[in-house]
Amino acid sequence: MLELGQPWALAALALPLLVAWLVPPARGDAGPGLRVPFYATLDGAVGTTARARPRRLMVLTGLAWCLLVVAAARPQWLGDPLGIPVTGRDLVLAVDLSGSMRYRDMVLDGAPATRLAVVQRVAGEFIERRRGDRVGLVLFGDRAYLHVPLTFDRRAARTMLAESAIGLAGEKTAIGDALGIALKHLRDRPAENRVVVLLTDGANTAGAVAPVEAARLAASAGLRVYTIGVGAEEMLVRQMLGVRRVNPSAELDEETLRAIAETTGGRYFRARDTAGLASIYAELDAIEPAAPEDQRLRPVEELFHWPLGAALVLVVSLALGARARSIVRARATTRATPRELVTGDA
């Protein structure tokens, strides 16, 4: 659609009329003058169009003024609204893919499920809610690697998490390396918006970097780390002589996870079942809220140069026309013979 950026400038259209009304017209009697006998010769040399020229000149001058005023009003063309994603946090999820994530001590949709299946469901829903955030995914086992770089494409990040498999990075747990990889890819991002959510079900048994040392490096870089220990505390195991009750989370190193969170200014959470894990991610939504809804922007194209250019061309044309008429008038006067100038005969 077309609109004016400064519509109040259109008030200047009436300025010439206001001047003509307030300023008194010039007096008709110009005072004493010299009467010449060859006036008829000069009038004929200029031509009969000279009488119509003042009116045409007034119309063209008025048109040039209107074009200048329209240009001052800044005509603009507004395009269709475009959605602009609002940049929120840089969020990296570090997910454990070690062998212990195969334990079927969780329940999903009323049926026993592995820890990884529950994490994929609940963490995937968490990713989907992070509108406006750049989400990355680090997977770790014996070693850690960046599976999804920071991206606004939440659907792609959720899909990559859902397609991850246990043992993809090895059977052990390299918590310190996972923090190091996350820190490496968040180091150059704004400090106040960098967050890591690390989820594991065990203790650090692999890797080149100790978890507490990695936490100190993250804290020095202003990185907040939230840790989640996942796994039930009680599980029934069928044996030849019956059923035995065991603790499948006996190897979970809660002390180290708590130390990581406290060192970096985050928090440690314990998820013993699917509902507990879902409530933890909901609490993370409250602690680190996602960005607001997308903003809308309408692109604006300035059009003032068109009437301004037209006014410039018109003014230059009027100036050149006046110059040409002056030259023609001067040549016509020069061609008149002395006799014609004296008698006034053409």
Give mean pLDDT, residues 79-91: 72
Distance, in Å, from the CA atom of 41 to the CA atom of 341, rounded to the nearest integer, reads: 8
Distance, in Å, from the CA atom of 311 to the CA atom of 87, rounded to the nearest integer, reads: 44
Give mean pLDDT, residues 233-251: 74
What's the whole-number average pLDDT of the chain? 83
Domains within the chain, CATH numbers bracketed: 2-20+35-79+300-343 (no CATH), 85-294 (3.40.50.410)
pLDDT value, residue 83:
63
45-54, 247-256, 265-274, range with the lowest pLDDT:
45-54
Distance, in Å, from the CA atom of 187 to the CA atom of 221, rounded to the nearest integer, reads: 7
Percent of the chain with pLDDT over 90: 40
Residue 37, pLDDT > 70, answer no
Residue 277, pLDDT > 50, answer yes
pTM for this entry: 0.61
Residue 45, pLDDT > 60, answer no
pLDDT value, residue 81:
73
